[in-house]
Amino acid sequence: MAFRKRREALRSILSGSACIRPGSVYDAVSIRIAEDLGFELGMFGGSVASLAVLGDPDIALITLTELAEQMRRMSRAASLPVLVDADHGYGNALNVRRTVQELEAAGAAGLTIEDTLLPQAYGETKTQLISLEEGVGKMKAALDGRGDPSLVIMGRTGAASVTSIEDAIARARAYEAVGVDALFFTGVKTRGELEAIAAATRLPIVLGGSPEEMTEPAYLGGQRVRIALQGHAPFAAATLAVYETLKALREGRSPKALKGLASSGLTGRVMREADVKARSAEFLGLENLGLKN
């Protein structure tokens, strides 16, 4: 699927009336699995990008080049539209513009730019925000960096849990006014807060994590929430699986006695083996490569 089609698919989620749950993806294998399971959208979180690429926590150590390269690998592996968490845009507003260009070229369907001060400032233990004015400059730069008008640009704020709901609303309205496509909120804790946000804004809403009282899709859809994240359990599951497998091997279990491994059928699907087989027959003159379907 051409990148534009992926972006249009994300746009149609945003302009619809339902709230969807994206699949958390972080590499070529996870995006193919999410695509095969019928997810409408992949979410490439900054936290899992950092884990998958560096094995490090989410503290803005990953570089734009590393993030974009991982996105490019996913874009090649599958055609599922992906929303990328582009953190603070890897610097000031001029860096944001470059970030948008790189992620667009890497095939992202959409991306978020947030107003968190990153990396963490010296001596500050709590999350800090940049000013509303600087946030607006970043959103304008993001829109200016877009070459394909179908690329979705979301303004993201965590103000709800850092300063106040009023501040989150003021920031969202300012980002809305400069032309972002959607508003992404983290730290919204109650239905009352979400309803205040929905009443004061007009763009589609994306929620990055929602507490128990806000998980009902019909309720969320009614508040203009079009995408609600649900964490990054797949990465945690994969980590445990690798841990348990290596531990069992280290303890002397024979590879044949291991549990919880992907079947050859599942591995073959993930590798798109049937396609490889067909291409090998056509281009290499190999009718039987011995590949399993």
Ligand X SMILES: O=C([O-])CC(=O)C(=O)O
**156 is an annotated ligand-binding site residue:** yes
Sheet order of strands, 152-157 included: 23-24, 42-44, 82-85, 110-114, 152-157, 182-185, 205-207, 225-228
Using CB under 6 A, list all residues that contact ligand X: 43, 45-47, 58, 85, 208, 229, 232
Distance of closest approach, residue 112 Cβ to ligand X, in angstroms: 7
CA–CA distance, 135 with 275 (Å, rounded to integer): 45
**36 is an annotated ligand-binding site residue:** no
CA–CA distance, 26 with 47 (Å, rounded to integer): 10
Could you tell me what percentage of the chain is helix, strand and coil, using 3-state DSSP and rounding each to the nearest 5? 50, 10, 40
Distance of closest approach, residue 209 Cβ to ligand X, in angstroms: 7
Residue closer to ligand X, measured from CB, 57 or 179: 57
**232 is an annotated ligand-binding site residue:** yes
Distance of closest approach, residue 206 Cβ to ligand X, in angstroms: 9
Count CB atoms within 10 A of the CB of residue 285: 7
Q: How far is CA 55 from the centre of its chain?
A: 17
Q: Which two tokens stand for residue 193?
A: 């807060």
> Mask: binding to Mg ion, 36-75, rule CB under 5 A, as x and -?
----------x-----------------------------
Residue closer to Mg ion, measured from CB, 3 or 184: 184
Q: Does the bond joining 217 to the residue before it have cis omega, within 30 degrees of 0?
A: no
- Choosing from 27, 40, 85, 104, the residue that interacts with Mg ion (CB under 5 A) is 85
Distance of closest approach, residue 158 Cβ to ligand X, in angstroms: 9
Q: Which does 142 bind (CB under 5 to 8 A by kind): Mg ion, ligand X, none?
A: none
Distance of closest approach, residue 128 Cβ to ligand X, in angstroms: 16
CA–CA distance, 72 with 35 (Å, rounded to integer): 16
Count CB atoms within 10 A of the CB of residue 236: 13
Of the candidates 136, 127, 110, 135, the residue with the CA atom closest to the CA atom of residue 162: 127
Of the candidates 57, 59, 119, 108, the residue with the CA atom closest to the CA atom of residue 85: 108
Residue closer to Mg ion, measured from CB, 40 or 85: 85
Residue closer to ligand X, measured from CB, 145 or 208: 208
Q: Which does 43 bind (CB under 5 to 8 A by kind): ligand X, Mg ion, none?
A: ligand X
What residue number has its CB nearest to ligand X? Answer: 45
Residue closer to ligand X, measured from CB, 118 or 277: 118
Q: Which does 229 bind (CB under 5 to 8 A by kind): ligand X, Mg ion, none?
A: ligand X
- The residue ranges that bind Mg ion (CB under 5 A) are 46, 85
Binding residues for Mg(2+): 85
Binding site as annotated, residues: 47, 85, 156, 232
